[in-house]
Structure 1
């Protein structure tokens, strides 16, 4: 739901009734992960996607039905040899989708409106909803924001709300969307209730050091991937907004000084394109000791060898140097700035998602890698592949 925050908030402000279909769990090879959403308003307007097209038609019908009867349901879609292109996932995976109506007088509407408004403003926001449990609890929202309180509730025991808020805050702090298993009274216990926690946090940062032609291309790719992109260079004649109109920020400063003073986190990507020792060495000496997601540096293998020697002389350890991606980028045979930017972006994605960078053709490796969890509260879903059609409502736990 939160991945459609801007559009859904606009629908809220316009007084539209709508239904939201949200992927709540996946198994095997599935096009989109938990939190992906599709919404349909009372006029039949559609936004978003839950499967890249595989089951959109059937999900649309479920949304229309939910608008008519006001009921929240969870449906499972899997591969079907007989009817794969009608309602099945042609990729062979399994997805569970929750469809929730949000009428103009729905009790949960004010809570969801607050969450969507905050998310649309890029404020850290998490929405927890029951996706497996008693039918009367399905879809009820509990919203956690950047403060310590919460809004709404799951409709059960007060301890359940407090525990759900605590789990949602943990995922919000990590910037992750995932599922949480709870017992009905709020204690952690698989087999009770399952919550989907959707987290929306400000976009991760990409900081590009070096105001060169390659940087201009990388800015465009970084924005396409959803990063907040900053270009930093100590030379004011090159670091200008006119040269980098698509960058969110253009900073004139010595790179290492700027990096030491700016805000970064575990999602931040640092791309060093200067390949000049007077900039690179102090910058990388700082970067490789910071808990960021990715540090890469442009340059030839000769440049890398000289850079490695200088960094060792500066006191960096083998473990710290092992974090450096240099020469930056995957081997695509890139020549132009645009091709080089693509190769850099490909390595960033592969590092983030656990990919190998090898061609999928003939590799036999999984197309969709399961992401590592950095907390006890995330799960990609318990289902493997299926060769039979699956479209059944999740039963209530009584």
Structure 2
């Protein structure tokens, strides 16, 4: 068996969404890096309030606030804020007619207002991001034009008084509050040919992944997950300290899938996906107690995955990722 590559660092492009940006901000060089945080938007914009991107020296950039046209100017201003060690402000307004064809030629009619937060001013920021990634709780950031930044995450809170420039626009408000949702969490119970493709794809979508697998043949798929638990489904579900947004049962093994479904029946997980055809699901339900079937049915998606066409592990992994993307973002069927 050929060795599998190690898990890339958390600030590598293997993660996506808000998670990629915040993970990178927790590990970037603090003296030369700035978090650009969107405070408010109006009109047609690429992102909404609460979006963020990280900028630093040597072309460091994680995340996007436009389709690529605005980032060079944001990067310049972000580096200036890092050098001055002062919170900066930036307004980008492309609502006028001439903005459609001139300058950066964004082609959108919108306005962004940003706070530029040098990492050197943010104290124990890495511990906040580590807790945000693992806690399932939104990170709320409130910024006052007078220099105060308040962080709240569940019962945890902090307040910092930071050096700031004055906003570069005529502000109608002096305080902004944004919320960054916790990254979605996916529990994969059992690996198979699809797991080596699906786990990196879920991370690229910004999800935090946990794989439960103890069979030697499939255990090395765990290098593509954030956490691997070497245990049976029953043992793992009893010991896991957190809840998950979704769970996938993917053993390709009848008895292990039966055990996993029985263990998941009592777990507070709103989406449970079962790999395999309808006939196999029916066979599994025939050997599960009635109370387990009743607990699973409202949440069970079987066969898991959208009907996208194609066959094989690649198509199956993509179909599952697509269904999870739709579910996690509240899009109806």
The alignment's TM-score, normalised by the length of structure 1, stands at: 0.61
Q: How does 1:91-106 map to 2 (within 5 A)?
A: 92=108, 94-100=110-116, 102=118
Query: Which residues in structure 2 correspond to 1:315-354 (within 5 Å)?
Result: 315-317=292-294, 320-354=296-330
Q: How far has the Cα of 1:80 moved from its partner?
A: 4.6
Matched, 1:11 2:26: no
Note if 1:226 corresponds to 2:196: no
Counterpart of 2:141 in structure 1 is 128
CA distance in 2, matches of 1:291, 1:257: 16
Which secondary structure does the structure 1 equivalent of 2:98 belong to?
coil
Match of 1:280 in 2: 257
- 1:194 to 2:172 alignment: no
Q: CA deviation at 1:217?
A: 2.3
Q: Which runs of 5+ in 2 are unaligned?
A: 1-17, 164-172
Distance 1:145 1:224 in 2: 24
Residue 257, structure 1, aligned to residue 232, structure 2: no
- C-alpha deviation, 1:324, in angstroms: 0.7
Q: SS of 1:346's equivalent?
A: helix
Cα offsets for 1:122-180 (capped at 9, x unmatched): 676946232xx6x434xx3224478745242589xxxxxxxxxxxxxxxxxxxxxxxxx
CA distance in 2: counterparts of 1:207 and 1:8, whole angstroms = 24
Structure 2 distance, partners of 1:150, 1:215, is 39
Summarize the Cα distance change of 1:249–1:95 in structure 2 as closer, same or farther, 3 Å threshold: same
Show the counterpart of 2:67: 52
**Secondary structure of 1:240's match?**
helix
Q: CA RMSD, aligned part only?
A: 4.0
Aligned-partner Cα distance in 1 for 2:119–2:327: 42
Sort the Cα spacing of 1:80 and 1:347 in 2 relative to 1 into closer, same or farther, 3 A: farther
Using the alignment, how far apart are the partners of 1:248 and 1:39 within structure 2? 22
Q: Which residue matches 1:369?
A: none
Q: Which residue in 2 is equivalent to 1:384?
A: none
| CA distance in structure 1 between the aligned counterparts of 2:238 and 2:42, rounded to whole angstroms | 42
Contact 1:6/1:116, CA 8 A, preserved across alignment: no
Please state how far the C-alpha of 1:206 moved relative to its aligned partner.
2.7
Q: Give the structure 2 partner of residue 216 of structure 1.
A: 196
Q: Residue deviations 1:235-268, cap 9 Å, x none?
A: x342433x54323444443323322321332x43
- 1:332 aligns to what SS in structure 2? coil
**Counterpart of 2:93 in 1: which secondary structure?**
strand
Cα distance in structure 2, aligned partners of 1:8 and 1:247? 20
TM-superposed CA distance for 1:302, in Å, is: 1.6
Shift of the 217–96 alpha-carbon distance from structure 1 to 2, 3 Å rule, reads same
Change (3 A) 1:100 1:227: closer
Distance 2:40 2:66 in 1: 12
Could you tell me which residue of structure 2 aligns to residue 207 of structure 1? 187
1:363 is matched with none
Counterpart selection for 1:300 from 277, 288, 291: 277
CA contact (8 A) 1:233 1:254 kept: yes
Distance 1:66-1:283 versus aligned 2 partners, 3 A rule: closer
Higher relative contact order (CA 8 A, sep 6+): 1
| Partner Cα distance (1:136, 1:58) in 2 | 25
Deviation at 1:284, TM superposition (A): 1.9
* CA contact 2:37–2:53 (8 Å) conserved in 1: yes
CA drift of 1:231 comes to 3.0
SS at match of 1:223: helix
**How many aligned positions are there?**
301
